[in-house]
Amino acid sequence: MRCTTFGRNTGLRVSEFALGTANFGTLWGSGAGRDEARTMLHRFADAGGTLIDTSDSYQIGQSEQILGELLGSDRDHYVLTTKFSLGAGRPHPSTTGNSRKNIRRSVETSLKRLGTDYIDLYWAHLPDDLTPVEEILTALDDLVRAGKILHAGLCNFPAWRVSRAVTLAELRGWSPLVGVQFEYSLAERAADRELLPMAEALGLGAALFAPLGRRLLTGKYRTSSRGRLSDWEGRGIRTEDSEQRTDIVDTVLAVAEETGLTPAQVSMAWLRARAADAPTALIPIIGPRTADQLESYLSALRVTLDTDRLKRLDEVSAVPLGQPHELVAHSLRTVRGGRPVTRPGAPVA
């Protein structure tokens, strides 16, 4: 597995895949027990994986607890990330959200469950639409200065909020935000409109969850509904709810048949190619529930798709950029006097 820095603004080195551990534990009614989790963690490490993603809310805190037990004395060999906002127990105003109070409480409970004295990257799991971004940033800055976290990032925040937060941190001398996390796959490319260009422009690392389109891109639900209701009671499952998503699955299955690959390998190979061409780190978060599923993800590390097939996948999954992007694209030649003009190193429009 290749290694890269998590964006252009930090020397934090991470593996090209992150191991998502939402399935470590069984308190949600489905997932992996400790033995299966141990097998997956060790196999991920054997493949060169170092980046681990969890949250205080995953499996009602059991994911962090299992990880703490498994990492033990090897903790420093991994880049450990976790999240706050949703909490691990019954929702309560004082134990959820992004207030300074909850951030302080959350980091202490996560450190205890994880059995460590520091977290490499601490994420706000989502905006709560209540807490000012200044409060989030100063609370995270305090944790960095105290040595309890090394870096901070934002998950599921819109681009305008992330951009403002990055700017405020720079202007006020607070600890910088180093990354963003959002959903991205062939089946969900809305981030192409704002989030990805923002991350690439600001040098933020991007952790991409649901790289198989919440299992849509495996193609298995076309012939069987098995798993839909057994995994978290069907929550988080994408369906072919649009003509485009049906076309995407058709194309993935066609490329798989042409190449002798699985649909999952095709989908992950496309994402790896997208990451290889990006000016900042794009790290897919793989979320296996079994060791066999992990092997399926890792097998994509040996797959390279040719240019024509990558182009077919790009075209069928592309999303309309909307305004003002489309207006600007149509107007650029007029602005440039009818001739293409670029900055050195920039793509030709």
Question: Could you give the residue numbers annotated as active site?
Answer: 58
* Cα angle, residue 282 at apex, residues 281 and 284 outer, rounded to 5°: 140
Which pair of structure tokens corresponds to residue 144?
């960095």
Instruction: Report which of 105, 104, 41, 108 is spatially closest to residue 72, judged by C-alpha positions.
Output: 41
Q: Which residues contact 254 (CB under 8 A, 6 or more apart)?
A: none
* Distance, CA of 270 to CA of 208 (rounded, Å): 13
- State how far the Cα of 318 lies from the Cα of 230, in Å rounded to an integer: 31
User: Tokens at residue 136, please?
Assistant: 């989030």
Q: Nearest to residue 88, comparing CAs of 112, 68, 109?
A: 109
Could you tell me the sign of the dihedral formed by the alpha carbons of 218, 220, 222, 225, in that order? negative
Distance CA 84, CA 78 (A): 20
Q: What letter represents residue 86's amino acid?
A: L
Q: Name residue, tokens 């107007």.
A: 331
DSSP class of residue 72 equals G
Residues forming a β-bridge with 154: 124, 180
Q: What is the distance between the terminal CA atoms of the chain, rounded to a whole angstrom?
A: 33
CA–CA dist 96, 165 (Å, integer): 20
Using the CB atoms, write b or e for 116-137: b if 16+ within 10 Å. bebbbbbbbbbbeeebebeebb
Torsional sign, CA 190, 266, 20, 285:
negative
Rounded CA-CA distance 54/126 in Å is 14
